A and B are shown apart, each in its own frame.
Chain A
């Protein structure tokens, strides 16, 4: 699985959009981009995933660049409960090795 690079931490004001970047320059053509988040002392929670098209669900939007070497997770209206560690992962299929990086600590301020 390709490795990912994320900023260590980011801040966001409550009610504003949070844009979390991820670099995956060595991604191969059949690897998907997944995003998870982990709130303190809980198991990670799935957010969204995509291959090459932009994706949106009730939690977030995922924007993948045309060359697929980077992506951005967008939380459109961040709340205090969105404060968490956000992990960007690339993997080929759901049964293979699943490796996490250090993630981005997102802090949402009132």
Chain B
């Protein structure tokens, strides 16, 4: 089945440790996105990538890092510099500039808890 997969669904880490969240898509999409969602809040954009080997900061990039070495994969690292890392993280992909006016597809999210 085509889709976007985030793993794991739940993740626990100790404070001060870096942690990497996985996002994989087999939709052949050029663009990929990472969002953070806190309880009762909307989605805030962390990073996005419009093409392989290129990415841009979103609205809340501090304390996070990404890479886009392959079209299918856009891992997000939550570093120890992120002050409040506990949140629900969502990954999305969309076809990109080559295909206008098409929608983005979302994964089911990873709930990260830092203790």
Interface residues of A (CB under 8 A from B): 32, 34, 36, 41-46, 49, 51, 85, 87, 93-103
Contact = CB atoms under 8 A, between A and B. Distances in A.
Interface of B: 30-31, 33, 35, 41-45, 48, 50, 56, 58-59, 88, 90, 92, 94-109, 111
Contacts of A85: 42
A82 to B, nearest CB: 18
A44 B4 CA distance: 12
B107 A46 contact: no
Given A94-B102, A95-B50, A101-B42, A43 B108 contact: yes
B83 to A, nearest CB: 22
A43 B96 CA distance: 20
Contacts of B35: 100
Nearest to B30: A95
10 contacts: A42-B109, A43-B92, A44-B43, A44-B90, A44-B92, A46-B104, A94-B95, A94-B96, A94-B102, A96-B50
A104 to B, nearest CB: 11
Given A41-B109, A94-B99, A95-B30, A100 B104 contact: no
